[in-house]
Amino acid sequence: MKIRIATRKSALALWQAEHVADALNALPEVDSVDLVPLSTRGDEILDKSLQKIGGKGLFIKELEIAMQAGDADIAVHSMKDVPAEMPDGFCIAAVLERANHADAFVGRNGCVLSALPEGARIGSSSLRRQAQLKIMRPDVLIEPLRGNVNTRLSKLDNGDYDAIILAAAGLERLGLQHYISQQFTPDEMLPAAAQGVIGIECLANNAELRAALEHLNHAPTAQTTAAERAIAKTLDASCQSPVATHAVIDGSAITVTALVAMPDGSESIRDSVQGPVVEAENLGVELANRLLASGAGELLADVTASNG
């Protein structure tokens, strides 16, 4: 079997695609693996917020078109960038073992959040991160930040910001973990759904390919991913909504925690559920419904109205 991987061209996307390629090359049924690097609208339009141009789905649309056209067989994604509702005809056939779920605080000269001066400028275009930063430090200014990891780090080095927030997993995968000043615990900052997870997408009707990809699927990660993505789906939240969630497995039990917050940190709703790990996805739905009963729907509607 020959497999062509559609991937974005950023250093992190290529690292992830090559990581999957190495795993595929170890399978006896796979003869060769080739990368098909593509540019996406999400990578090309950097002067507008993702909310304004269509959300994080813009990072994967061109990759799906390549699969539909027969130019690629699979696409490799950061699962936090994949919309909770998959397009018809596509599926996530496998997820790899979750890497670091945490958000990383990258301060100039190793500065940590508590040491920032009043009114410090922090770069982040994520409403989820903004809301939780504002809960911890209402005085800081959150300013938009787009681009790949190296672009964001260079803007910090150039003095555009006093600190920036990035996914720890991305920095670690690129060997840039020395930039991390502190890692937030889930109590401080809940991550995005499936943050740190690499997913493999393919056409849903390709049974032979799906059977091969199943060998790469990490079951515990699939369960936590299902729980976390069920929350986003039930809340009808986009990848840019101020929704955070984290699931943890302990033996045969899973604990799922989620947060919905106003971007300015003025209001937040947080809740958790626990149950059998085999009920992971249902527990995510249950938690989302509890959040809705506590007013999460109205809060998200206010956020949508104020952010266009």
Q: Output the CA angle 100-112-43, nearest 5 degrees.
A: 55
The DSSP annotation for 77-89 comes to EEGGGS-SSPPTT
For the four alpha carbons of 68, 69, 73 and 78, in that order, the dihedral sign comes to: negative
Q: Of these residues, 73, 81, 103, 162, which one is catalytic?
A: 81
Residue 242 contacts residue 263 (beta carbons within 8 Å): yes
* Catalytic annotation present for 160: no
- Within 10 A of 306 (CB to CB), how many other CB atoms are there? 10
Token pair 């809960």: residue:
135
Which 3 state secondary structure label does DSSP give 6? strand
Buried b (16+ CB within 10 A) or exposed e, 288-305: beebbeeebeebbeebee
* Interacting residues of 124 by C-beta distance below 8 A, sequence separation 6+: 130, 133, 142, 143, 144, 145, 164, 165
Segments in 137-242 forming alpha helices (H): 149-157, 168-173, 207-213, 219-234
CB atoms near residue 143 (< 10 Å) = 15
Residue 35 β-bridge partners: 5
Under 8 Å between Cβ of 56 and 240: yes
Catalytic residues: 81
